[in-house]
Amino acid sequence: MSRPGCPWDNAMAESFMRTLKREEVDGRTYRDLPHAREKIVAFIDTVYNRQRLHSARAYRAPELFEDDCHEVCLSFLSHQRDAVHSLCKAAQRDTHNLT
């Protein structure tokens, strides 16, 4: 929760609630509380988390953003593996040259 005089503490939660109300809740009628929960959870799982563009992800769909992150990680690990392999070869050559 936001401390007095510091409204930014709660900015992400407020943004989420605004989106939920604007895109799912406003103007809808739910049969009962379980129906409301079902529809809101479905909105969060299928729209908010998977389809909706977020500024924190450079306005890219979450799945595309995660795919890009995965590719970057694999590329980084590949480069690290190659660097370690080169260092090991150099160390073996240096050790062999000393004997």
Q: How far apart are the first and last CA of the chain?
A: 67
pLDDT at residue number 99:
58
Return d(Cα 61, Cα 59) in angstroms, integer: 7
Q: Are residues 68 and 46 in the same domain?
A: no
pLDDT at residue number 79:
84
Total count of residues recorded for the chain: 99
Q: Are residues 47 and 1 in the same domain?
A: yes
Q: Are residues 42 and 72 in the same domain?
A: no
Query: 49-73 as b/e, with b when 16 or more CB fall inside 10 Å?
Result: eeeeeeeeeeeeeeeebeeeeeeee
Q: Are residues 87 and 69 in the same domain?
A: yes
Q: Are residues 73 and 26 in the same domain?
A: no
What is the pTM (predicted TM-score) of this model? 0.51
Q: Are residues 18 and 38 in the same domain?
A: yes
Provide the domain limits for residue 2. 1-52
Higher pLDDT, 9 or 11: 11
Q: Are residues 43 and 66 in the same domain?
A: no
Convert the pLDDT of each residue in 15-49 to its tens digit. Answer: 888 889 998 998 889 999 999 999 999 998 888 87
Convert the pLDDT of each residue in 55-92 to its tens digit. Answer: 777 788 777 888 888 888 888 888 888 888 888 887 77
